[in-house]
Amino acid sequence: MAKLSFLSMGMILFLCCCSAAAAARTAPAGQGYSKYKDPGQPVNARIRDLMQRMTLQEKIGQMTQLDRASVTPEILRDYSIGSVLSGGGSVPFPKAKARDWIDMVNSYQNGSLSSRLGIPIIYGIDAVHGHNNVYQATIFPHNVGLGATRDPDLVKRIGAATALEVRATGINYVFAPCIAVCRDPRWGRCYESYSEDPSVVQSMTSIISGLQGEIPAGGRKGAPYLGGNDKVLACAKHYVGDGGTARGINENNTVADWHEMLSIHMPGYYKAIIEGVSTIMVSYSSWNGVKMHANRFLVTDFLKNTLKFRGFVISDWEGIDKITTPADANYTYSVQMGIGAGIDMVMVPYNHTVFIDTLTRLVKADVIPMSRIDDAIERILRVKFMTGLFEKPLGDQTFLSQLGSQEHRDLAREAVRKSLVLLKNGHKADPPVLPLAKNASKILVAGTHANNLGYQCGGWTITWQGGSGNNLTSGTTILGAISKAVDLDTEVVFSENPDPDFVRSHNFSYAIVVVGELPYAETAGDSTNLTLAEPGGDIIQKVCGAVKCVVVVVSGRPVTIEPRVDQMDALVAAWLPGSQGEGVADVLFGDYGFTGKLPRTWFKTVDQLPMNVGDPHYDPLFPFGFGLTTEPTGGQ
């Protein structure tokens, strides 16, 4: 009898599988009582109730995440897709307003709600320095700059502000924070890392309680958490060892023994789990030659079983495809290894049918056990129920005014001024150059990065790779901020790349030279020479040879500047400050003091790399933790 009912249940599952889409149209959900729809029921009971109603097809659909560019409400309905994302720059249309985003997300949500069981989607986006894909959102400094602040409370407030801006667009899930511990600045994602020091990275996981809300006293530490409709689900990434790859090559191999793994790359995850991070994204990289996306030991045995992570594990974009080299060489193998390793949701992101069909085949052939699918579904549903998503699936206009609000821009400005690191301030015996006088009669502003909002925001801004120019989004350039900060009768002359004779003939009191790296993201940012974008070096030489100069470097990491430091009168690392250039002027002119500390070792030459604090042969240009200070002068 028992055996028979087991068999017939298998048959029912199979039959439902074929008729799910038809059933959706003939028997709309919501008629009569469904325990899983009752918010009065405990989450575990809701999960159990819903799971036993789900077909295999619906379960696999829930494990699927697609980019917005390849979904329709009908696909979401017919396949019971679990999640939609915006990849970098994947927007409804250029310069879309918050309302447009809400309409888009809600139209997808409507599709999901009209599926047989009406399971809502979560919508994910790379909000990695503010809600950075969205036109006119506040762009906060990239993580490397936040690491320089050493201010976990500030970073938590940035998380809360980002959550509000994301909610303004009807979105409930962000692929942040990146808690990589970048050990080699040649890595193109180094700016996404708070620091080379795991303890700094660990302290900055405070952003999770800003994004998701803080687990109340007495609340269960370590379970996924969401504090309310003004909060968003977070995602700690990229598990694990993404910042440790050989020569900083993106997505490459991290060679490390277990002790190094535990002491350098893992501490951020312990803390993130305690703070209730809801999801964790797997790294493209390998650990000792094994792709993380196929690493059952680290994903299932360690993260889920040992660390007791109870949220869901998501792949990176086409992450399982890249289990093979070349990518997609054997997709069946990729799905088998990825799901087998313990990945719960797959960022497919384009072709749902290939993924769904492949996984379905593997389950039906008993290659992947049903228990593995059920583990994934239980985790995904836990996050969805705990979010309150079933009760309030649609975005509304409650938070519209949060996008790019003055309050958030003021917070970004605070972050910028705390992130600046003063590396040099005058030649040895001479008086300090900074803070600068606001009442000089004429000053020069020069350099490739002085008047370029796109450059100062860096990658992951409006588009994946970032952009150039001042119409990218709204904000204040460093030049604009300087012009606003100085006295009304101070003449500010801007010349990007001036001739030395021009500089000498103009009797400038001083020059501010802003140079740096061009925007980049991921592999496109891998660099072997870490040079300033041309003609940055020439501009430093010409201007600093002709007038007292302060050099501001806008970059995602330390860059090669050793030969030029003697030419400069003062040197400031500004990292990638984002949309609020005012924060730079605030400290240059002494309204606030410099307080930032290097979150990374500043090398002399690239052949020293990798070189991190604590290494035996440590011979930096500026050591980890270095940063001169100035007293605020009220700008006089």
Ligand X SMILES: *[C@@H]1O[C@H](CO)[C@@H](O)[C@H](O)[C@H]1NC(C)=O
Question: Shortest distance, CB of residue 67 to ligand X, whole angstroms?
Answer: 11
Q: Which residue in 44, 439, 497, 629 binds ligand X (CB under 6 A)?
A: 439
Q: Which residue in 64, 65, 80, 106 binds ligand X (CB under 6 A)?
A: 106
Q: Which residue, 306 or 439, is less far from ligand X as judged by CB?
A: 439
List binders of ligand X among 458-517 (CB under 6 A): 469, 471, 507, 509
Q: What does the radius of gyration of the chain's CA atoms come to, in whole angstroms?
A: 26
Q: Which residue, 103 or 318, is less far from ligand X as judged by CB?
A: 103
Alpha-carbon distance 368 to 347, whole Å? 19
Distance (Å) of CA 509 to CA 294, 444, 490, 506, 524: 60, 8, 10, 9, 39
Q: Which residue, 203 or 527, is less far from ligand X as judged by CB?
A: 527
Q: Which residue in 8, 305, 353, 397 binds ligand X (CB under 6 A)?
A: 353
Q: Which residue, 8 or 353, is less far from ligand X as judged by CB?
A: 353
List binders of ligand X among 304-343 (CB under 6 A): 330, 332-333, 336
Backbone phi and psi for residue 394, each to the nearest 5 degrees, phi listed first: -95, 145
Alpha-carbon distance 255 to 261, whole Å? 9
Q: Which residue in 34, 41, 110, 523 binds ligand X (CB under 6 A)?
A: 110
Question: Shortest distance, CB of residue 250 to ligand X, whole angstroms?
Answer: 9
Question: Shortest distance, CB of residue 152 to ligand X, whole angstroms?
Answer: 33
Q: Which residue, 103 or 375, is less far from ligand X as judged by CB?
A: 103
Question: Shortest distance, CB of residue 325 to ligand X, whole angstroms?
Answer: 6
Question: Shortest distance, CB of residue 445 to ligand X, whole angstroms?
Answer: 17
Is 351 an interacting residue with respect to ligand X (CB under 6 A)? yes
Contact region for ligand X (CB under 6 A) — 103-111, 257-265, 301-309, 338-346? Answer: 103-111
Is 172 an interacting residue with respect to ligand X (CB under 6 A)? no
List binders of ligand X among 56-85 (CB under 6 A): none
DSSP strands (E only) in 413-544: 421-425, 442-446, 491-494, 511-516
Contact region for ligand X (CB under 6 A) — 45-53, 258-266, 347-355, 598-606? Answer: 347-355
Q: Which residue, 106 or 360, is less far from ligand X as judged by CB?
A: 106
Find, among 474, 463, 421, 467, the residue nearest to 580 by Cα.
474
Q: Which residue in 441, 501, 538, 634 binds ligand X (CB under 6 A)?
A: 441
Take residue 25 and report the two structure tokens written for it: 């149209």
Contact region for ligand X (CB under 6 A) — 214-222, 250-258, 259-267, 374-382? Answer: 250-258
Is 43 an interacting residue with respect to ligand X (CB under 6 A)? no
Find, among 191, 189, 182, 142, the residue nearest to 162 by Cα.
142
Q: Which residue in 252, 463, 476, 580 binds ligand X (CB under 6 A)?
A: 252
| DSSP letters spanning 278-303 | -EEEEPSSEETTEEGGG-HIIIIIII
Q: Which residue, 352 or 413, is less far from ligand X as judged by CB?
A: 352
Q: Which residue, 133 or 286, is less far from ligand X as judged by CB?
A: 286
Alpha-carbon distance 36 to 508, whole Å? 71
| DSSP letters spanning 373-403 | HHHHHHHHHHHHHHTTTTT--S--GGGGGGT
List the catalytic residues: 316, 522
Question: Shortest distance, CB of residue 561 to ligand X, whole angstroms?
Answer: 13
Please tell me whether the peptide bond between 623 and the residue prior to it is cis, using omega within 30 degrees of 0. Answer: no
How many helices and strands, by DSSP H and E, does the chain display?
21, 17
Q: Which residue in 437, 524, 533, 621 binds ligand X (CB under 6 A)?
A: 437
Binding-site string for ligand X from residue 379 to residue 418, where x marks contact by CB under 6 A and - marks none: ----------------------------------------
Q: Which residue, 263 or 353, is less far from ligand X as judged by CB?
A: 353
Alpha-carbon distance 257 to 263, whole Å? 10
Q: At what angle do helices 352-364 and 331-341 cross, to 10 degrees?
A: 70
Alpha-carbon distance 406 to 192, whole Å? 25
Alpha-carbon distance 507 to 500, whole Å? 12
Residue 29 is which amino acid?
Answer: A
Q: At what angle do helices 406-419 and 152-168 cross, to 10 degrees?
A: 150
Is 283 an interacting residue with respect to ligand X (CB under 6 A)? no
Is 431 an interacting residue with respect to ligand X (CB under 6 A)? no
Question: Shortest distance, CB of residue 473 to ligand X, whole angstroms?
Answer: 9
Question: Shortest distance, CB of residue 438 to ligand X, whole angstroms?
Answer: 8
Q: Which residue, 110 or 229, is less far from ligand X as judged by CB?
A: 110
Q: Which residue in 209, 286, 461, 476 binds ligand X (CB under 6 A)?
A: 286
Backbone phi and psi for residue 287, each to the nearest 5 degrees, phi listed first: -115, 120
Alpha-carbon distance 593 to 620, whole Å? 25
| DSSP letters spanning 517-558 | PPP--GGGG--SS-PPPTTHHHHHHHHHTTS-EEEEEE-SS-
Strands of the 83-86 sheet, one edge to the other: 173-174, 122-125, 83-86, 64-67, 346-347
Q: Which residue in 229, 483, 531, 567 binds ligand X (CB under 6 A)?
A: 531
Contact region for ligand X (CB under 6 A) — 106-114, 144-152, 377-385, 595-603? Answer: 106-114
Find, among 417, 445, 408, 450, the residue nearest to 164 by Cα.
408
Q: What share of the chain is helix, strand, coil (3-state, %, to 5)?
A: 40, 10, 45
Residue 134 near residue 90 (C-beta atoms within 8 A): no
> Which DSSP category does 141 fall into?
P
Is 354 an interacting residue with respect to ligand X (CB under 6 A)? yes
Question: Shortest distance, CB of residue 274 to ligand X, whole angstroms?
Answer: 31
Is 636 an interacting residue with respect to ligand X (CB under 6 A)? yes
Contact region for ligand X (CB under 6 A) — 179-187, 194-202, 310-318, 434-442? Answer: 434-442
* 131 contact partners, CB below 8 Å, separation of at least 6: 125, 137, 138, 162, 165, 166, 168, 169, 403
Q: Which residue, 202 or 336, is less far from ligand X as judged by CB?
A: 336
Which positions lie near ligand X, rule CB under 6 A?
A: 103, 106-107, 110, 249, 251-253, 286, 330, 332-333, 336, 351, 353-354, 437, 439, 441, 469, 471, 507, 509, 527-529, 531, 636
